[in-house]
């Protein structure tokens, strides 16, 4: 696809070449995200960071990515007091807000709302999550992390062996990731979940149609033994009818250093979309993994910044100007990479 | 008036020459708001965007206007957790916050609060709305829109024919607009509202004293037949004792494409302060007007940015420096003017 | 101490030479905070202004300080909707957020939380207040104000005579200030409070061990007669079991112009950490003092900006670059110093 001026609404809009183009740009953003260089390429541009549902992490990640390109960020958090609550249509909100901004990131609790908003916007819109529907920048940063981690270990996304663990039914993240994985070849995929929280059938079918080998199971240990990536997810408590129901599943598939040592290959990369639930009842990834160099969860969060920088640079068509408008960082960064 | 260092608190502080000065500067801001040029004239300056009552639209509009001039924005939303809730006087809040900022925009639920705050502030304060009292930047952007729209059609504010429709009793917007219109000559004004929601008598008197011809009516169709501007407003539900009472009036004066075609002149401009209530029970401006080129409601919102830029440039006295500190925009803007 | 890359968590980490180093840098920040010069020394850097408990004043002060050095600010307010509420550990939050930022300021309701966060952060963390525990930048700005005010009157922190008035038991501010005062010599300290709200004994002991003369009393008038500084504090209503209990103490030690004229030396400086409670029942500092040139409470708030600029410049090690990256202010500032 041609990115300039486009909305980024769904993983479905990408072909394999698009993914590779985004990742190439993301690679070029690393000196800036790592604070070795700064760029002012988007000096004067304004991001409308519209979060009609709270999400500190995603909101701040988008905002930082835009700041790192030199732009300003205006934002909103919450829907309660907004014009939408006074009966304003998404069409009107989009016409107005897009007059203020050069690009918009939007999160909204209703599935489809961001696409509806985008259709009326006069500037590119990046979907920051619309309910249980789509969250494409998360899927992209997950896949970017997978690529980086497995390539550092001599592998490749083609032929990847991956386990996805936990709530695969309600986990928007793994749904989108699976769709992206369908663009690649020859994967082995282990779907590990309670039977009631299994991956939706049409996603399983799509992966099989793409030629991947897919196993569905509720057993953890013997299905993480031969994988490059173990991707754990949080039980989406808020999707269940009651806390009691959610608690039946919380903590069902715990991964800790002992299990890892006993069952995993020594290079298996551990991922998680975050936040991980570290309370005693859940603890899907034990904190004793924190010093394991294969725990990639914070590199994953870091990668969110470069992927989002890449999306901004692409839709605003400034990729080739980024390095021209740059210089070395002049402040102390020595404590940055502990 | 001399603008440098002044507060902008009320439409009453302007003479006709002031309005024309503001609008001339607003015209000069358009290349920046349209993203053809960027300026850094307020590089290093800080706006204190203090919203002690939520208003996404106005808050973001002020913030963007300041960013477009190159400045930083620090802001607050809501009063609940503020020092004011711990018994701090507006005097103290103003002394403190004005030490942080170069200029302050303030919204507050109580009438008179912004003027009280301004009297203690060490930097210029722009009233972003104080309860049912004043919202001068909204009145200015409305009048600026009227001027631009009617001049594009060969008219002028003098001799303007305008209909104001809806809740004219509680609508702060139309009150302030009427006061500004008193500075001009020979207008014909149709005030269309339920009898109980009529324009306050002293405003009607002031307009007649200014030499305007004013008609008060509760009939829509025959009073929008010969006007340059049809200015519709939202029923201010929050001002009524109950939702039932508000619902008696919501939807009473609906304007849609059929009514427009049948009753209006072909060039009549439709305005609305936004948000318009698009729920079935209200729908004061039907969405079938969205493709009508005379629907000016989003141009009106866009004009809010240039008018606010003008106010900032005037009170900080940088009008003549704006173009000197500027350059062409370097990112993709091709989707901007759909 | 060597500041580059360090966390600023507690007043206990400073020696006297550190304090003096911070104050020397703060002095050099004044042309920028006073809007005579602007600097872009932190152009491209990002502050993560993480307020997990609301505090408009402190949050905006940190944000402005960073903007005045040329940097961007990303922020959050409130904990309710954050990942922490979904069971995320402070360790995880710190690993993620520190990937977005170049320096972090954090406020959190729990004592010790900021230090825990800092231990996992990859960038310097400045404690913006952790419950009843520490708020070092407030203590520093208080001491900086004392130094400036008494030096302008020919005095010095050594040999200072100071009265602290009000709730000395729960007032985090005065606790931290007392710890800093222990680094200086020969002070006379009057602690004026209801017996039940006295200064914690170990702080009194520490001041005596430092060689200071300390008096504890519940009588105001005769203990403010021979002091350089009268430091009044707010009753921390939120720390009491009931409003009734708090009200027993609110308004117990009121200072107004009459009392000042009758009892104080003509140069005694009045300070307060703000917000002061100006409601009739409290009114610890009467508004009739507002024109008294010795009322330093707003200079105190102003000093918060330069002290916070100094901390940022020190931990990011750009002190020597600040003036190099600077120029004169180009906008109107004539109303700034009323």
Mind listing the pLDDT tens digit for each residue in C266-315?
Answer: 999 999 999 988 888 777 899 999 999 999 999 999 999 999 999 999 99
> Three-state SS string across chain B, please?
CCCCCCCECCHHHCCHHHHHHHHHHHHHHHHHHCCCEEECCCCCCEEEEEECCCCHHHHHHHHHHHHHCCCEEEEEECCCCCHHHHCCCHHHHHHHHHHHCCEEEEEECCCCHHHHHHHHCCCCEEEEEECCCCCHHHHHHHHHHHHHHHHHCCCCCCCCEEEEECCCCCCHHHHHHHHHHCCCCCCEEEEECCHHHCCCHHHHHHHHHCCCEEEEECCCHHHCCCCCEEEECCCCHHHCCCHHHHHHHCCCCCECHHHHHHHCCCCCEEECCCCCCCCCCCCCECHHHCCCCCECHHHHHHHHHHHHHHHHHHHCCCHHHCCCCEEECCCCCCCCCC
Asked if C73 and B72 come within 8 Å (Cβ–Cβ), the reply is: yes
**pLDDT value for B335:** 74
* Residue B334 with chain A: CB contacts under 8 Å: 4-5
Confidence (pLDDT) at B125: 98
For chain A, say whether C99 makes contact (Cβ under 8 Å). yes
Chain A: partners with 3+ C-beta pairs within 8 Å: B, C
pLDDT at B83: 67
Shortest CA gap C313–chain A (Å): 9
C32-54 pLDDT, tens digit per residue, is: 999 999 999 999 999 999 999 88
pLDDT at A250: 76
Q: Does the CB of B274 have a partner CB in chain A at under 8 Å?
A: yes
Distance from CA of A300 to the nearest CA of C (A): 9
How confident is the model over A169-183, as a mean pLDDT? 94
B116 touches chain A (CB under 8 A): no
Residue C265 has a pLDDT of: 97
Q: Of B191, B174, B182, B160, which Cα lies nearest the Cα of B269?
A: B160
Structure tokens at C137: 């930048």
- The mean pLDDT of chain A is 93
What pLDDT is attached to residue C336? 73
Residues of C in contact with B101 (CB under 8 A): 64
The pLDDT score that the predictor gives to residue C337 is 59
Residues of C marked as catalytic? 57-58, 86, 107, 135
pLDDT above 70 covers what percent of chain B? 97
Residues in A touching B39 (Cβ below 8 Å): 44
CA distance C76 to chain A (A): 7
**pLDDT of res. C39:** 98
What one-character-per-residue DSSP string does C169-208 give? TT-HHHHHHHHHHTTSSS-EEEEE--GGGPPPHHHHHHHH
> Which pLDDT tens digit goes with each residue over C16-37?
999 999 999 999 999 999 999 9
pLDDT at B277 (0 to 100): 85
Query: Which of chain B's residues have a Cβ under 8 Å away from the Cβ of A93?
Result: 275
Q: Are residues B301 and A95, on separate chains, in Cβ contact within 8 Å?
A: yes
- Binned at pLDDT 50, 70 and 90, residue B87 comes out as confident
Q: β-pairing, A37-39 with A326-328? A: antiparallel
Q: Does domain A11-136+304-328 have CATH number 3.40.50.1370?
A: yes
Instruction: With CB atoms and an 8 Å threshold, state whether C54 touches B81.
Output: yes
Radius of gyration of chain C (CA): 20
Chain B interface includes C40 (CB < 8 A) = yes
In the predicted structure, residue A239 carries a pLDDT above the cut 80: no
pLDDT tens sequence across B123-143: 999 999 998 889 999 999 999
Q: Give the residue from chain A lying closest to B234, CA to CA.
A: A86
Residue A230 confidence (pLDDT) above 90: yes
CB C8 within 8 A of CB C285: no
Give dist(CA B200, CA B177) in Å, integer.
13
Instruction: Tell me phi and psi for residue B269, to 5 degrees.
Output: -90, 135
Kindly tell me if the per-residue pLDDT of B249 is higher than 90: no
Question: In angstroms, what separates the C-alpha of A317 from chain B's closest C-alpha?
Answer: 6
Band (C78; pLDDT cuts 50, 70, 90): confident
Q: Do A287 and C91 touch (CB under 8 A)?
A: yes
How sure is the predictor about C72, in pLDDT bands with cuts at 50, 70 and 90? very high
Active site residue A76: no
Cβ contact, residue pair A42, B331, below 8 Å: yes
pLDDT at C76 over 80: yes
Taking CB atoms and an 8 Å limit, are B82 and C56 in contact across chains? yes
pTM: 0.96
**Which of A31, A275, A304 would you mutate first to test chain C, the one with the most C CBs within 10 A?**
A275
% of residues, chain A, pLDDT over 90: 82
Query: Please, which pLDDT band fits residue C80 given cuts at 50, 70 and 90?
Result: low
Are B5 and C335 in contact (CB < 8 Å)?
A: yes
pLDDT tens-digit map of B15-46: 999 999 999 999 999 999 999 999 999 999 99
What does the pLDDT read at residue A132?
Answer: 85
Class of domain B11-134+303-328: alpha beta
Q: Which of these is catalytic: A39, A59, A93, A107?
A: A107
Other CB atoms within a 10 A radius of the CB of residue C29 amount to: 24
Could you give the angle at the alpha carbon of B103 between the alpha carbons of B101 and B105, nearest 5°? 110
Q: For residue B152, what are its two tokens?
A: 């594009």
Q: Which residues pair with C75 in a beta bridge?
A: C49
CB contact residues (below 8 A), chain C span 3-22, against chain A: 4-5
Contact A305 C82 (CB under 8 A): no
CA A326, distance to chain mean position in Å, is 27
Indicate yes or no: CB of A56 within 8 angstroms of CB of C91.
no
The partner residue sitting opposite A72, judged by closest CB among B67, B274, B338, is B67
For the segment B227-246, the average pLDDT, to the nearest whole number, is 85
C296 in reach of chain B (CB within 8 A):
no
For chain B, say whether C70 makes contact (Cβ under 8 Å).
yes
CATH of span C11-134+304-328: 3.40.50.1370
Check if A334 contacts C (Cβ < 8 Å): yes
> What are the DSSP E strand ranges found in A78-198?
103-108, 125-130, 161-165, 188-192
Residue of A57, A153, A208, A299 with catalytic role: A57
Residue A338 has pLDDT above 60, yes or no: no
Chain C interface, mutation test: which of B70, B99, B118, most C Cβ atoms within 10 Å? B99
Q: Does C326 touch chain B (CB under 8 A)?
A: no
Chain-centroid distance, C-alpha A284: 19
Q: Do C48 and A56 touch (CB under 8 A)?
A: no
| Minimum Cα–Cα distance from C321: chain A residue | A330
pLDDT over 70 at A28, yes or no: yes
Q: Where are the domains of chain A?
A: 11-136+304-328, 137-298
Residue of B nearest to C281 (CA): B87
Task: Tell me: pLDDT of A83 over 70.
Answer: no
Continuous H helices in chain C: 16-33, 56-68, 90-100, 113-120, 136-152, 172-181, 201-209, 243-249, 257-263, 297-315
Catalytic site positions of B: 57-58, 86, 107, 135
**How many contacts (CB atoms, under 8 Å) link A and B?**
101
Residue in chain A lying closest to B337 (CA): A122
CB pair distance less than 8 Å for B99 and C35: no
Identical topology for domains B11-134+303-328 and B137-298: yes
Fold topology of B137-298: Rossmann fold (3.40.50)
Convert the pLDDT of each residue in B72-82 to its tens digit: 999 998 766 66
Which chain B positions have a beta carbon within 8 Å of C297's beta carbon? 92
pLDDT value, residue C82: 65
Cβ–Cβ gap A57/C83 under 8 Å: yes
How much of chain C is in helix, strand and coil states, percent to nearest 5? 40, 15, 40
pLDDT tens sequence across B259-316: 999 999 999 999 999 998 888 877 789 999 999 999 999 999 999 999 999 999 999 9
The answer to whether B234 faces chain A, any CB pair under 8 Å, is yes
For residue C7, is pLDDT > 90? yes
Q: Quick check: helix, strand or coil at residue A129?
A: strand
Chain C residues touching A55 at Cβ < 8 A: 81
Q: Could you read off the pLDDT of C222-252 as tens digits, one per residue? A: 999 999 999 999 877 777 778 787 777 777 8
Residue of C nearest to B75 (CA): C60
């Amino acid at each position: 696809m041609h990115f300039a001026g486009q909305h980024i609404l769904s993983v479905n809009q990408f072909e394999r070449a698009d993914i590779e183009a985004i990742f190439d740009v993301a690679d070029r953003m690393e000196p800036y995200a790592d604070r070795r260089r700064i760029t002012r390429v988007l000096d004067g541009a304004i991001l409308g960071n519209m979060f009609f549902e709270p999400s500190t992490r995603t909101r701040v990640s988008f905002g930082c990515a835009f700041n790192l390109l030199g732009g300003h960020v205006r934002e909103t958090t919450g829907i309660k007091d907004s014009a939408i609550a006074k009966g304003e249509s998404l069409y009107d909100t989009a016409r107005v807000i897009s007059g203020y901004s050069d690009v918009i990131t939007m999160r909204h609790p209703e599935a489809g709302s961001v696409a509806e908003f985008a259709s009326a916007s006069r500037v590119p819109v990046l979907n920051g999550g619309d309910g249980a529907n789509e969250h494409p920048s998360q899927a992209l940063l997950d896949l970017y992390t997978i690529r980086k981690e497995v390539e550092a270990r001599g592998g490749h996304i083609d032929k990847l062996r991956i386990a996805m663990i936990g709530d695969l039914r309600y986990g928007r993240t793994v749904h989108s990731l699976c769709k992206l994985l369908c663009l690649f070849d020859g994967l082995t995929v282990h779907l590990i979940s309670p039977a009631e929280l299994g991956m939706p059938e049409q996603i399983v079918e799509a992966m099989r149609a793409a030629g991947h080998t897919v196993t569905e199971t509720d057993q953890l240990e013997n299905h993480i033994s031969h994988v490059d990536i173990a991707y754990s997810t949080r039980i989406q408590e808020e999707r269940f009818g009651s806390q009691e129901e959610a608690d039946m599943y919380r903590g069902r598939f715990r991964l800790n250093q002992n299990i890892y040592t006993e069952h995993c290959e020594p290079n298996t990369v551990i991922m998680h979309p975050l936040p991980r639930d570290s309370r005693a009842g859940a603890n899907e990834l034990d904190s004793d993994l924190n010093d394991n160099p294969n725990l990639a969860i914070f590199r994953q969060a870091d990668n969110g910044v470069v992927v989002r920088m890449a999306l901004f640079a692409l839709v605003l068509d400034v990729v080739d100007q980024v390095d021209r408008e740059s210089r070395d960082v002049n402040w102390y960064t020595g404590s940055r990479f502990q």
